[in-house]
Amino acid sequence: MFLHAGAQDLHFSQWFNSPLTTNPANTGFIPDADYRLGANYRDQWSTIMSEPYKTMSIWGDAQLFRDRIQNGWLGLGGVILHDQAGSGNLLSTEAYASVAYHQMLGYSSLLTAGFNTGWVNKQINTTNLKFPDQFDGKFFSQTQPTSVVISQPNINFFDMQVGLNYAYFPTNKIYINAGFSIWHLNRARESFFTTDPVGFDSRIPQRYIGFLNASIKTSDKVIVNPMAYYTNQATASETVLGLNAQYNLSGDGDQQVIGGLYYRVGDAVIPMVGFVYKNIRLMFTYDVTASSLGTAASGVGAWEFSLINYGHYSEFNGDRKQTLCPSFKQ
């Protein structure tokens, strides 16, 4: 008997607040700052599972060599992710380093190429797992021996991603950004077994991510940010559409409230609320399940938050903006 389990990559509803796990070309792609540090946390299906899915990350990136490269700069960054999935205690820990090159094309557009590489560790604890040959016709019995032998409960492998970004900013009130990335370029083998059975390929399928977003300043008080995101991996796909709006509370942009609504097609409605205080942005989202799973989950899917701190190098004081991203700051 052979045990096979398939799953999608780790992901966040707030994909736009997890830039390095969306596209490595986002590394150093920071229109309104020189560097940033962030953290994300997601808790999913806590109402229907004794051990809900929990995903967390910490990350950071920065712009370098802006004074040495004409009309361009280098972005360097890194991200660490950790995920705990279900009663089998499938634990995933991933660490990536990324680099991107950004080149201005004239005065109103920017082209970026980036890649990352990293190390992945996955562990599985079979203590709470039940296998088909432990089913007696009515119940699963863990006292019944199983023929399933997981020979490699702790595995490690390297992973690699590439991506492109393009931004267009004809005025300081309009900013449009599109990106495309390919994940698992090297298709590493991911299996808790020493060998694969005939006809089964344990290499990770490549994942494709595309996004389009915009930032439009409608007044001195409001900036609107419509977004679209699509990803596909093997037979699974996901589409997210929506927008958020920033409202200027303080006049100088140091205090803002953010509200938004997103829809993961065929799956969930995702309201969002956030707050900006100076260089710190905090956002919360709550997935309200709209699929057939919603009945069992009572409409509850996942809650998630992101925290990002934006910073400027002291010698520049935020005055050397390469791109004209809409902002409340003068």
**Per-residue pLDDT at 267 exceeds 60:** yes
pLDDT at 191: 87
pLDDT at 141: 65
Higher pLDDT, 162 or 149: 162
Least confident of 5-19, 62-76, 235-249, 302-316: 5-19
pLDDT at 300: 64
- For 152-186, the pLDDT digits (tens) are 889 999 999 999 999 999 999 999 999 999 999 99
- For 99-110, the pLDDT digits (tens) are 999 999 998 999
Domain assignment present for residue 67? The answer is: yes
Indicate the pLDDT class of residue 296, thresholds 50, 70 and 90: very low
| Most confident among 197-201, 217-221, 320-324 (mean pLDDT) | 217-221
**Per-residue pLDDT at 5 exceeds 50:** no
Q: Tell me the mean pLDDT in the region 12-37.
A: 95
> How many C-alpha atoms does 326 have within 13 Å on its Cβ side?
24
Higher pLDDT, 51 or 24: 24
Indicate the pLDDT class of residue 325, thresholds 50, 70 and 90: confident
Residue 202's CATH number: 2.40.160.40
**Per-residue pLDDT at 188 exceeds 50:** yes
pLDDT at 6: 46
pLDDT at 329: 78
**Per-residue pLDDT at 7 exceeds 60:** no
Assigned token pair, 34: 């020189």
Cβ contacts of residue 106 below 8 Å, gap of 6+? none
**Per-residue pLDDT at 96 exceeds 60:** yes
Chain-centre distance for alpha carbon 289? 19
Q: In the chain, how many domains are there?
A: 1
Domain assignment present for residue 279? The answer is: yes
Domain assignment present for residue 328? The answer is: no
Q: What is this structure's pTM?
A: 0.88
Domain assignment present for residue 320? The answer is: no
**Per-residue pLDDT at 95 exceeds 70:** yes
Q: How far apart are CA 301 and CA 308, in angstroms?
A: 24
Domain assignment present for residue 124? The answer is: yes
Domain assignment present for residue 10? The answer is: no
Q: With beta carbons less than 8 A apart as the criterion, state whether 269 and 263 touch.
A: yes
| % of the chain beyond a pLDDT of 70 | 82
Helix (H) or strand (E) holding 295: helix 294-297
- The SS3 call for residue 192 is coil
pLDDT at 2: 40
40: number of Cβ within 10 Å: 24
Q: Which amino acid is located at 140 in the chain?
A: F
The per-residue pLDDT of the chain, averaged, comes to 87
- For 38-67, the pLDDT digits (tens) are 999 999 865 555 567 899 999 999 999 988
Domain assignment present for residue 8? The answer is: no
Domain assignment present for residue 326? The answer is: no
**Per-residue pLDDT at 196 exceeds 90:** no
Q: What is the domain extent for residue 105?
A: 15-311
